[in-house]
Amino acid sequence: MALDALPVEHIGTLTAATNEVERPLVKNGPAGTRSVATVTGASFVGPKIKAEMVPGVAAGDWLTVRADGSFSLDVRLSLRTDDGADIFMHYVGIGTRGEDGNAKIRTSPRFETGDERYSWLNSAMCVALGHTDDQGVVYEIYQVS
């Protein structure tokens, strides 16, 4: 059965600061040009969750610029909800740069938590539509129904 649209529910907006720390570049390696963007702060806010990145915990975006100019990303960060639950977030995706220099990004976030209140995230299959801005990245995250 073909779908005309993917059935999704918006679960939140992730905003991450990635432009505060210099990014090392490994240019023209066998897989492309590699860069690591340090995530210095993040928030994830939606109807059922309000969380911030855990201060002092390593978080980053391992980015590879490919030969065609697109880039792949591998992001990992830890979030803590306003009611004390810890959640690990990981996503991979593909991005392209627009003429304005900002990127259009598509990712597939996954979550892990041991907190029963947020256990619905453990089995959530998600997609995210994102873009870059002056601070870093912004994603609208949707759970596939």
Cβ contacts of residue 20 below 8 Å, gap of 6+?
38, 40
Residue-wise pLDDT tens digits, 54-99: 989 999 999 999 989 999 999 999 999 999 999 999 999 999 998 8
> For residue 95, is it within any domain?
yes
Cβ–Cβ < 8 Å for 34, 63: yes
Residue-wise pLDDT tens digits, 21-34: 888 889 988 989 99
Segment 35-53 mean pLDDT: 96
- 1 pLDDT band (50/70/90 cuts)? low
CATH of the domain at 116: 2.40.160.20
Rounded Cα gap, residues 43 and 144, in angstroms = 21
Arithmetic mean of pLDDT over the chain: 94
Task: Report which of 4, 2, 12, 11 is spatially closest to residue 138, judged by C-alpha positions.
Answer: 12
> For residue 7, is it within any domain?
no
Cα 75–44–58 angle (5° rounding)?
A: 40
> For residue 6, is it within any domain?
no
Rounded Cα gap, residues 111 and 126, in angstroms = 9
> For residue 74, is it within any domain?
yes
